[in-house]
Amino acid sequence: MGFIYSQLFVKPTYPTTSCAGQTIIVTGSNVGLGKEAARHLARLGASKLILAVRNTKAGEAAKHDIESTTRCSPEVIEVWPLDLSSYASVKAFADRASKLPRLDVLLENAGIAAGKWQVFEGHESTLTVNVISTFYLALLLLPKLKSSAKQFGIMPRLTIVSSEVHGHAKFAEWKEPKIFDTLDDESKFDVWERYPLSKLLEVLVFRQIAPSLEGSGMTLNILNPGLCHSELARDAGWTLAIMKFFLARNTEVGSRTLVAGAVAGPEAQGKYMHDGKVDESELSPFVKSEDGRLASEKVWKELSVILESIQPGITGNL
Ligand SMILES: NC(=O)c1ccc[n+]([C@@H]2O[C@H](COP(=O)([O-])OP(=O)(O)OC[C@H]3O[C@@H](n4cnc5c(N)ncnc54)[C@H](OP(=O)(O)O)[C@@H]3O)[C@@H](O)[C@H]2O)c1
């Protein structure tokens, strides 16, 4: 009932916080929620807005569209390639971003709801894109966010776009000796479970790493945009299409929740945001349970090993 109430009766606040002087990265910003969030951030005066996209032609089209509606100067928006299905692309993007004079916001929005089994970088595609590369990029850019905090006396934000569907995942695999190995077994792949599961893994990892950023000068939050119209799950079939028809927020309204995360203050550090506000009561019962805490520790332990195998020493950035 809470879901239906939010979808039908709650309209996240129209963003008005100035972003003047800020450098902001939005991943997956050529379409959907990322593009509409980028449009808000351009309107709010960001000095540099980087559209991090896997399809740069689509990124350029988004840049021109945003420029035409916000009348921001052509120097503000830049389109940079980032493909989360490739660790080399993530690393190249982060190396480039680390050379920026400052970084105020990394809004990690890009994600997929894969409709079939596929493997990227040795892991099932949803795990690679939504979880492994998302946290790889986060860890790669933590030093830049932290140094920007010190150098400019600001409080940079790292925001991860998750979903309330994290509560739909059964996640029986958390009790297996090797969680990622089990999830990477094609014979056990459940296409309907995988997207919500990837969003649950994001929340679990987030809860493990957020406390270590206390006192670092930057903040990390995670958010749920609600059900929104976008390109996501375009092949998911009639049930979702009907739900979206009756309940989905339009993309612009949904994107306000992303902007709320991107401009949030210290109150959102380590917190889950829902309807554009900090609201930990919206975390799933599993996440808040003792089993959820144990699963969170276990998932992070395994993910740390994976991240260390991609780049030795990377978890030291926390
Ligand atoms: N829409 C909803 O109801 C809803 C609800 C809860 C949470 N979310 C979350 O919101 C975020 C944005 O989703 P959306 O609904 O706006 O979906 P969308 O319209 O499909 O946008 C997803 C974005 O991610 C990009 N992307 C996909 N794979 C990528 C990769 N390998 N490397 C780099 N970028 C990649 C897409 O690029 P291409 O255009 O090239 O594919 C696109 O720009 C996702 O994290 C999603 O899980 C959405």
- Give the three-state DSSP class for 7: helix
Q: Residues with beta carbon inside 6 Å of ligand 1?
A: 28, 30-34, 53-55, 58, 82-85, 109-112, 129, 161, 163, 225, 227-228, 230-232
Atom of ligand 1 nearest to the CA of 165: 6
Residue of 112, 121, 130 to mutate, ligand 1, most atoms within 8 A of C-beta? 112
Once rounded to an integer, what is the mean pLDDT over residues 286-301?
98
Distance separating alpha carbons of residues 79 and 61, to the nearest angstrom: 10
Distance 209 CA to ligand 1 centre (A): 23
- Banded model confidence at residue 236, pLDDT cuts 50, 70, 90: low
Q: Which residue's CA lies nearest to atom 5 of ligand 1?
A: 227
Q: How far, in Å, CA of 23 to CA of 25, rounded?
A: 7
pLDDT in tens, 38-94: 999 999 999 999 999 999 999 999 999 999 999 999 999 999 999 999 999 999 999
Longest Cα separation, the chain: 54
Q: Hey, what are 36's tokens?
A: 């509409």
Q: Where are the domains of the chain?
A: 2-308
What ligand 1 atom has the least distance to the C-alpha of 113? 47
Q: Tell me the H-state helices in 45-86.
A: 56-70
**Alpha-carbon dihedral of residues 51, 56, 62, 67, nearest 10 degrees?**
70
Write down the pLDDT at residue 213.
97
Q: Quote the CA–CA distance of 28 and 7 in Å, as a whole number.
A: 23
pLDDT of residue 144: 98
Q: Atom of ligand 1 at shortest distance to CA of 129?
A: 31
Answer yes or no: is pLDDT of 122 > 70: yes
The separation between CA 28 and the C-alpha centre of its own chain, rounded to angstroms, equals 9
pLDDT at 242 (0 to 100): 85
Backbone torsions φ then ψ of 112, nearest 5 degrees: -130, 155
Residue matched to tokens 């739900």? 243
In order, the DSSP letters of 201-214 are HHHHHHHHHGGGGT
Known catalytic residues are 162, 195, 199
pLDDT, tens digit (0-9, with 9 covering 90-100), for 169-227: 999 999 999 999 999 999 999 999 999 999 999 999 999 999 999 999 999 999 999 99
3-class DSSP state of 121: coil
Q: Is the pLDDT of residue 244 over 90?
A: no
State the distance from the centre of ligand 1 to the C-alpha of 102, rounded, in angstroms. Answer: 26
Task: Please give the pLDDT value at position 245.
Answer: 86
Residue nearest ligand 1's atom 25 by CA:
28
**Distance from the alpha carbon of residue 14 to the mean position of ligand 1, in angstroms:** 21
| Topology (CATH level 3) of domain 2-308 | Rossmann fold (3.40.50)
Instruction: Assess whether pLDDT exceeds 90 at residue 290.
Output: yes
Q: Residue whose CA is closest, atom 7 of ligand 1?
A: 163
Token readout for 14 is 């129209």
pLDDT of amino acid 246: 87
Provide the 3-class DSSP secondary structure of residue 105.
strand
Higher local confidence (pLDDT), 5 or 260: 260
Pick the atom of ligand 1 nearest to 89's CA: 32
Best residue among 54, 135, 198 to mutate for probing ligand 1, ranked by most atoms within 8 Å of CB: 54
Q: What interhelical angle do 290-310 and 191-209 show, nearest 10? A: 90
Q: Pocket of ligand 1, candidates 30, 33, 247: which has the most ligand atoms within 8 Å of its Cβ, to mutate? A: 33
- Return contacts of 91-99, CB within 8 angstroms, 24+ apart: 91/136, 91/140, 91/311, 93/52, 93/137, 94/137, 94/140, 94/141, 97/25, 97/50, 97/141, 97/144, 98/140, 98/141, 98/143, 98/144
pLDDT at 276: 97
Distance 232 CA to ligand 1 centre (A): 6
Cα(208) to centroid of ligand 1, in Å?
24
As a whole number of angstroms, the distance between CA 210 and CA 46 comes to 26
| pLDDT at position 189 | 96
Choose among 25, 75, 20, 31: nearest CA to 50: 25
Supply the mean pLDDT for the chain.
Answer: 96
Given this model, what pLDDT does residue 1 score?
A: 73
Closest Cα to atom 43 of ligand 1: 28
C-alpha of residue 260 to centroid of ligand 1, in Å? 18
| Confidence class for position 235, pLDDT limits 50, 70, 90 | low
